[in-house]
């Protein structure tokens, strides 16, 4: 019902001005999600061509292939851990100068770095400069990727029509699956039409070069954008104005959040539109909210990376599965993940973020061991295993769908870009970026084949506890200016 979405709680959040019209909202949705697609498209392409990239950039004459591959993945991981830096750097810029100009800069950097990888001379041509230049470009990609999530989610949720913030935010998660599929599809298509020699010589460069027209399309969309309504309103708020009610911990409404901080004396923060004393006084609350947000996302990060990325190598190294079986399991998990994201986001607009995300975290924690037992059982039917892996991906989708909107609702406009971007980047760096290393090391040291289940169960249980602190009607309340 309409009254369930536009109730007194939302009206009490303060005057919101006229909502963004459907065309503007849809334009923001497309322009916001397209950058995330390019980011994860490159992620998929780089992973598919890791061995070719290793031979091209990290293997001098007489160098070992294994060592080159390790260096390739190290460059891959390095970009991952530069994301929190990018989230802080571009988040601060986005909270000061606006979402639109910052996202334009981010997509320019991302497109330029990805395209230049496709043009970069090999080790045979420029020697040791080749791996260093590749690593530098990966760092630029990591920085831009860190700045992409916070800005895109801020833009999409701030433009979202009333009652559809969860669905709009879910598109940011959905484009992860689309981008990976696009990258893997491009690599598979080239492998079909080109020989191995052609792929190694020049074919691997084509998917990276395709980022240029995609990036130009994303740039065109973002140049046509208006600044978000929330940021424009925030820019008009006097520095000594108090923030709307509710703390950055997700809107408890107990008076101890940003609004309470606004009452404290403190100098205004120069250059932060509409923030003033509230941002300076609530700095501690904002840091706490970032840590809490990362905790609320840890189940999504850990279970997602375990089921969608680590599972194929685990099946091969621990359970002696074939490459084809491992690839099939990965495809099924990603299919379940993609299928659940948008429905989960839409459902959270009706029943709340807490209900959907806690359900996903609890189900993941409870079913982690039965799932792994089924996959490990040689007598279990193949269809049952495939269904279980697909269901595991769908459970991750229950957390990933409402996640972006949940984060956006934790922070006021003056720190939203920075806050939600850092919470997401830190959670992924710690609980996703380290998942493969932690699981592989623990299995090798202990010989315990159930380590992935322990990892998922513990992180999802902790995440469920953190998510339980969300207020049940947060989805009905307007974003805080």
The model's pTM:
0.79
- Verify that 164 and 307 share a domain, yes or no: no
Give the count of domains, the chain: 2
CB atoms within 10 A of CB 346: 17
Domain of 414? Answer: 281-472
Residue at 151 is within a domain: yes
Burial category of 125 from C-beta neighbours within 10 Å (exposed 0-12, middle 13-18, buried 19 and up): exposed
Contact 414, 228 (CB under 8 A): no
- Verify that 467 and 401 share a domain, yes or no: yes
- Verify that 64 and 185 share a domain, yes or no: yes
Residue 64 has a pLDDT of 56
Residue at 269 is within a domain: no
Residue at 478 is within a domain: no
- Domain containing 351 — which CATH number? 1.20.1250.20
Residue at 267 is within a domain: no
HEC string of 204-270 equals CHHHHHCHHHHHHHHHHHHHCCCCCHHHHHHHHCCCCCCCCCCCCCCCCCCCCCHHHHHCCCCCCCC
Residue at 336 is within a domain: yes
- Verify that 198 and 78 share a domain, yes or no: yes
- Verify that 179 and 59 share a domain, yes or no: yes
- Verify that 394 and 304 share a domain, yes or no: yes
d(Cα 331, Cα 329) in Å, to the nearest integer?
A: 5
Residue 431 has a pLDDT of 87
- Verify that 93 and 179 share a domain, yes or no: yes
Residue at 81 is within a domain: yes
- Verify that 290 and 397 share a domain, yes or no: yes
d(Cα 56, Cα 129) in Å, to the nearest integer?
A: 12
Q: Which residues contact 195 (CB under 8 A, 6 or more apart)?
A: none
Summarize pLDDT for 214-267 with one digit per residue, the tens. Answer: 999 999 999 988 888 888 886 654 444 333 334 444 444 333 333 333 333 333
Q: What is the pLDDT along the chain (481 residues), one digit of tens a residue?
A: 433 334 334 434 444 444 555 678 888 888 888 888 998 888 778 777 877 887 888 766 545 555 555 566 566 667 778 889 999 999 999 999 999 999 999 999 999 999 999 999 988 888 888 888 988 998 898 899 899 999 999 999 999 998 999 999 999 999 988 888 888 788 878 888 888 888 888 999 999 999 999 999 999 999 988 888 888 886 654 444 333 334 444 444 333 333 333 333 333 333 434 344 344 436 788 899 999 999 999 999 999 888 887 776 677 667 777 756 776 787 888 889 999 999 999 999 999 999 999 999 999 999 999 998 888 888 888 888 889 989 999 999 999 999 999 999 999 988 999 999 999 999 988 888 777 777 877 887 888 888 889 999 999 999 999 999 998 888 888 887 7
Residue at 321 is within a domain: yes
Task: Take residue 4 and report the two structure tokens written for it.
Answer: 């369930």
Residue at 242 is within a domain: no
**175, 193, 224 - which closes a domain:** 224
- Verify that 62 and 209 share a domain, yes or no: yes
**205, 224, 243 - which closes a domain:** 224
């Amino acid at each position: 019902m309409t009254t369930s979405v536009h109730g007194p709680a939302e009206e009490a959040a303060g005057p919101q001005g006229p909502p963004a019209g459907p065309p503007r909202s849809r334009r923001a949705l497309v322009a916001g999600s397209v950058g995330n697609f390019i980011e994860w498209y490159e992620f998929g392409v780089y992973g598919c061509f890791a061995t070719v990239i290793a031979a091209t950039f990290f293997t001098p004459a007489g160098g070992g292939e294994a060592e080159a591959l390790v260096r390739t993945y190290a460059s891959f991981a390095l970009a991952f851990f530069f994301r929190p830096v990018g989230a802080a750097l571009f988040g601060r810029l986005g909270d000061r100068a606006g979402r639109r100009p910052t996202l334009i800069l981010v997509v320019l950097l991302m497109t330029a770095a990805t395209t230049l990888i496709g043009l970069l001379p090999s080790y045979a041509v420029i020697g040791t400069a080749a791996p260093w230049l590749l690593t530098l470009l990966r760092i630029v990609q990591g920085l831009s990727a860190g700045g992409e999530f916070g800005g895109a989610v801020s833009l999409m949720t701030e433009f979202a029509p009333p009652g559809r913030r969860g669905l709009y935010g879910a598109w940011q998660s959905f484009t992860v699956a689309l981008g990976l599929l696009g990258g893997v599809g491009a690599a598979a298509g080239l492998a079909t039409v080109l020989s191995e020699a052609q792929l190694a010589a020049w074919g691997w460069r084509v998917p990276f070069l395709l980022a240029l027209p995609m990036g130009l399309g994303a740039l065109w969309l973002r140049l046509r954008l208006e600044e978000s309504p929330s940021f424009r309103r925030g820019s008009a708020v006097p520095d000594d104005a108090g923030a709307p009610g509710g703390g950055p911990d997700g809107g408890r409404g107990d008076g101890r959040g940003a609004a309470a901080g606004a009452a404290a004396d403190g100098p205004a923060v120069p250059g932060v539109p509409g923030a003033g004393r509230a941002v300076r006084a609530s700095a501690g609350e904002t840091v706490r909210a970032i840590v809490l947000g990362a905790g609320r996302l840890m189940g999504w990060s850990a279970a997602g990376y375990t089921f969608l990325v680590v599972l194929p190598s685990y099946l091969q190294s621990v359970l002696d599965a074939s490459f084809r079986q491992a690839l099939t399991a990965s495809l099924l998990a990603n299919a379940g993940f993609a299928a659940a994201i948008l429905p989960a986001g839409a459902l959270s607009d009706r029943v709340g973020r807490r209900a959907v995300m806690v359900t996903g975290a609890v189900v993941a924690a409870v079913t982690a061991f039965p799932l792994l037992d089924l996959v490990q059982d040689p007598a279990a039917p193949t269809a049952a295993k495939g269904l279980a892996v697909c269901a595991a991906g769908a459970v991750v989708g229950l957390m990933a769908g409402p996640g972006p909107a949940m984060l956006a609702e934790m922070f006021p406009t003056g720190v939203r870009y920075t806050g939600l971007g850092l919470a997401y980047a830190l959670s992924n760096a710690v609980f996703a970026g380290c998942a493969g290393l932690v699981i592989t090391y623990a299995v090798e040291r202990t010989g315990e084949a159930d380590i992935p289940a322990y990892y998922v169960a513990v992180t999802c249980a902790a995440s469920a506890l953190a998510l339980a602190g969300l207020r049940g009607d947060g989805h009905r309340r307007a974003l805080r200016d």
